[in-house]
Amino acid sequence: MPLYEYRCPDCRKVEEYIDPVEHAPVHRCGKCGREMDRILSVFSTASKSSSPDGGDCGSCENSGSCPLS
């Protein structure tokens, strides 16, 4: 299942949730209770990225040997 990142519009707290593809639930900020906005989605395999620059394979020149792919 995809991993989604949510951000509170109020206090900017960011949390990650693994949601079902359909019927994504509403997540509320644990700090102030505001409904959080989904800001991006990455597949769960990307969450174990250890790339020092935080990049992803989309910009990797050596995609054939990239350890993240």
H/E/C letters for each residue in 32-68? CCCECEEEEEEEHHHHHCCCCCCCCHHHCCCCCCCCC
- Binding string, residues 28-57; x marks residues near Zn ion by CB under 5 A: -x-xx-x-----------------------
Total residues binding Zn ion (CB under 5 A): 8
What is the C-alpha to C-alpha distance for residues 52 and 10, in angstroms, rounded to an integer?
30
- Binding string, residues 8-27; x marks residues near Zn ion by CB under 5 A: x-xx-x--------------
Residues in contact with Zn ion by the rule CB under 5 A: 8, 10-11, 13, 29, 31-32, 34
